[in-house]
Structure 1
Amino acid sequence: MKDILIITSYFPPETGAASNRMFHLATGLEKQKYKVSVITPLPNYPKGQVFESYRGKFKQTTTENNITIHRLWLYASNSKNKILRLLAMLSYSFSLICFFIFNKTPNKVIVQSPPLLVAFTCMLFLRRKKRRLILNVSDLWPIAGLELGAFKRNFNYKLLEKIERFNYHKADLILGQSKEILAHIKTMFPEKEMFLYRNFPDFELPTLSKQQESNPKITIVYAGLLGMAQGIYKLCKALDYSNITFHIYGGGAEKEKIINFIADNPNLPITYYGEVPREELHKLLLNYDITIIPLLNRIYGSVPSKIFEYARLGLPMLYFGGGEGETIIEKHQLGWVAHVGDYKNLNLTIQSIRKEDFTLKKRLEIQQIGKRYFDFNSQLNLLTKLF
């Protein structure tokens, strides 16, 4: 049996796209007869507090689904204070260094990036000729931080660029979740071995049935992180509600602002349901007409994994994020595209949508597209040939 280690900053019981992505990768490799171990912090995302059942622990090692999981201490924080956020990353890096010193590391290691500093720690301390380092790049930092307004082009930004280059240079194989990510890395290291590794989900396709026409308005649902990048609070304020109802699931930094906005505007048809387990959420999503996938600003290299998840659910999508995601929606006819950041165009797009666009036949077509083009196991089979 071949040993492989996955190092990630997010893993269940944490929720979200990053956690799901790394969980599916770990379980998929285990099914392919790899002996999988995972290093991850004590669960703390997205609230920035270690989950209650893990508090007071410096380290915990468990075996779950035949996967060995090492949960390491960190100073948990999701503060907007950059120093506290940096301290959180450095604390996890310190725990990683201690782990590397006192434990044997397999010859195949998959490192998740971002966070850049965590990836840098791994690439620095694990590099040696016989070890194959595989860097899984899900977002381009520091570019994404610059586009989100988190960074400015100063000395710190240039330092992060150097760290980014170091990580790519030391990787033996680079996985990128978008073509834009791989194109960006190729400008620096054109000879580097790379693989387009999309964030495909791994779950059984649900059985679709004809919906009951109980609501004359179009029901739009958002499910996911309520963070600054998604801009759900601004979306709540900008939507034209004349022909829609808006339903929100999830948690994050904007949660309280959204709850307060709904309370201050009881006449608007917005409902917030809180956070719901993923399996339950999949069942709930099938009750809505369409889902919206927004980004406050276009982020180079970003392709929301929701696209692939919702396709397999057979759920029509309204994409409002720009970039490569637009191309995927349009190419596979998965729904509608509105110009990122243009709320007037978004409302005009919504006005063009009709109830007859959500027939069972159309949903089944979307689901079959998801099954054919966004298959997790087919992609994993191609990836493991490169290991």
Structure 2
Amino acid sequence: MEEILIISNYYPPEKGAAANRIEQLALKLHQNDYTVSVICPLGNYPKGELFPEYKGKFSVTENRDNITVNRLWIYPSISKNLVVRIVSVLSFSLSLFFYLLFKKTPKKVVVQSPPLLLSFISVLVLSLKNKKVILNVSDLWPLAAIELNALKKDSLSHKFSLLLERYIYKRATLILGQSNEILAHVRSLFPNKNCLLYRNFPDHKVSRMELHTDESQPIRIFYAGLLGIAQGVYELCQNIDLKELDIEFHIFGDGAEKNQIEAFVSSQHENKIFFHGMLERKKLHERLRSLDIALVPLKTRIYGSVPSKIFEYGSLGFPILYFGGGEGENIVDENHLGWVASVGNYSDLNEKLKAISELGKSALDAKKNTVFSQSQEVFDLDKQMKSLIERDVF
């Protein structure tokens, strides 16, 4: 079987969309007769501390579902202190640099971007070794960092990041983009670059809808995922108005805003927002079966970003309440997956919630069936992977 390597900053048992996305790619390549290996840091995300099984280790090689996973040393941190964060990024960057420089690697390598520094180091070493570099771009950095106010425009850090970004696009053999906006951005810099769309479709292996609509319960909307700055779930909790509505809001996840959300939920009197913490993916899906609508928010419109939760929960049959702007709005609208509220406009979001509350459970159940059927037809990972393999991407 042909060998292929994937380099990523995240991989299970770490949680979140990034880890799930890379694992899905690895498993699907394996199913298509590739021998797949992964290089990633020792497990630490999202808490920013090593998982118990990796503490005291410098590196670990393990087998997960026939994927060889090489975990390298990292000084983990989610500190807000810039110096500490730089040390954390540099620690894995150095581990990765020496690994790629001195270890034998396959001829074909998938490099996940962002983070920019890790993708830069990977592309630099691999291009010197004449490897086929397949750059998988899920977000546009530093552009997204500017939009999230995590980076100041025209600062030294911004200019340095732009140099890294242009280098990896130029030196990559070809580029896979998670959105059409990503592809348009890359082509604006390098018009002749070979770019292909690769959506983050799930592979639930569900042939029939397994959701349960409980007529005796309020409509239950949920958010499940990273509780970070980009998602803005804490601000959302402060601004949604559920007082007169037959709606509950359930939150699952972990991240920087966790403590604020927990404190807010504890202080509320009407008890219509519930926080459940982080659950393992299979247990989460089991808990979600009796809920009704997936809320997919972004704090601000981020050019190039398409939240994978649209595909993840649409494919399970959940109607989507989308509150993130950009290309995601088009996907929800064009595929009749649910409702779109203008990003950052809480008046519009509360109007959509009012309309949902008046919908009724029988209409909601029919909506679930429609979303499930449409998602099964359009969000087909096997078809997408087959098409890319036929085009000699991998």
Normalising by structure 1, we get a TM-score of 0.97
What is the CA distance between 1:100 and its match in structure 2? Answer: 1.7
Partner of 1:68: 68
Answer whether contact 2:302 2:326 (CA < 8 A) is retained. yes
Q: Tell me whether 1:364 sits opposite 2:369 in the alignment.
A: yes
The 1:261/1:174 distance shift into structure 2, 3 A limit, reads same
Q: Cα deviation per residue 1:59-96 (whole Å; 9 max; x = unaligned)? A: 00112222111000011011122222222111111001
Aligned to 1:258: 261
Deviation at 1:130, TM superposition (A): 4.1
Tell me which moved more, 128-137 or 292-301. 128-137
Counterpart for residue 139 of structure 2: 139
Measure, in 2, the Cα distance between the counterparts of 1:199 and 1:300: 17
What pairs with 1:33-48 in structure 2 (closer than 5 Å)?
Answer: 33-48=33-48
1:382 equivalent among 367, 370, 387: 387
Equivalent residues in 2 for 1:153-192, closer than 5 Å:
153=153, 154-192=155-193
Q: Partner residue of 2:105?
A: 105
Task: Return 18-27 or 262-271, whichever deviates more.
Answer: 262-271
Q: Deviations over 1:187-223 (max 9, x none)?
A: 00110111100111111225436522122x3221111
Instruction: Give 3-state SS (helix, strand or coil) of 2:188's partner.
Output: helix
1:213 corresponds to which letter in structure 2?
Answer: E
Aligned CA distance change for structure 1 residues 172 and 240 (closer, same or farther; 3 Å): same
The AA in structure 2 aligned to 1:282 is H
SS in 2 for 1:348: helix
Partner in structure 1 of residue 347 of structure 2:
344
State the TM-score, normalized to the length of structure 2.
0.95
- Conservation of the 8 A alpha-carbon contact between 1:210 and 1:359: no
- Distance in 2, matches of 1:45 and 1:348, equals 36
Corresponding pairs, count? 386
The verdict on how the C-alpha distance between 1:166 and 1:357 changes in structure 2, with shifts beyond 3 A counting, is farther
What is the match of residue 288 of structure 2?
285
Paired with 2:362 and 2:232, the residues of 1 have a C-alpha distance of 26
Counterpart secondary structure, 1:313: coil
**Stretch moving more, 158-167 or 79-88:** 79-88
Q: Give the CA deviation at 1:361.
A: 3.0
Counterpart Cα distance in 1 of 2:101 and 2:122: 12
Check the 8 A contact 1:312/1:367 in 2, yes or no: yes
Is the Cα contact below 8 Å between 1:42 and 1:74 reproduced in 2? yes
CA-atom RMSD, angstroms?
Answer: 1.3
Identical residues among aligned pairs (%): 49
Aligned CA distance change for structure 1 residues 210 and 66 (closer, same or farther; 3 Å): closer
How far is the alpha carbon of 1:358 from its aligned partner?
A: 4.4
Aligned positions of 1:46-125 closer than 5 A? 46-125=46-125
What secondary structure is seen at the aligned counterpart in 2 of 1:96?
helix
2:299 counterpart of 1:296: yes
**Segment of structure 1 superposing worse, 275-284 or 44-53:** 275-284
Shift in Å at residue 311 of structure 1?
1.2
Equivalents in 2 of 1:287, 1:163: separation in Å? 45
Report the Cα distance in structure 2 between the residues aligned to 1:118 and 1:136, rounded to whole angstroms. 13
Structure 2 unaligned blocks of 5 or more = none
Deviation at 1:282, TM superposition (A): 1.6
Q: 1:373 aligns with which of 356, 372, 378?
A: 378
Q: 2:214 aligns with which of 184, 197, 212?
A: 212
Q: What are the equivalent positions in structure 2 for 1:296-335 lying under 5 Å apart?
A: 296-335=299-338
Mapped pair 1:19 → 2:24: no
* Displacement after TM superposition at 1:128 (Å): 3.9
Higher alpha-carbon deviation: 270-279 or 132-141: 270-279
Do structure 1's residue 237 and structure 2's residue 238 form an aligned pair?
Answer: yes
Please give the alpha-carbon distance, in whole angstroms, between the structure 2 residues aligned to 1:220 and 1:371. 22
Distance 1:161 1:235 in 2: 32
CA contact (8 A) 2:101 2:125 kept: no
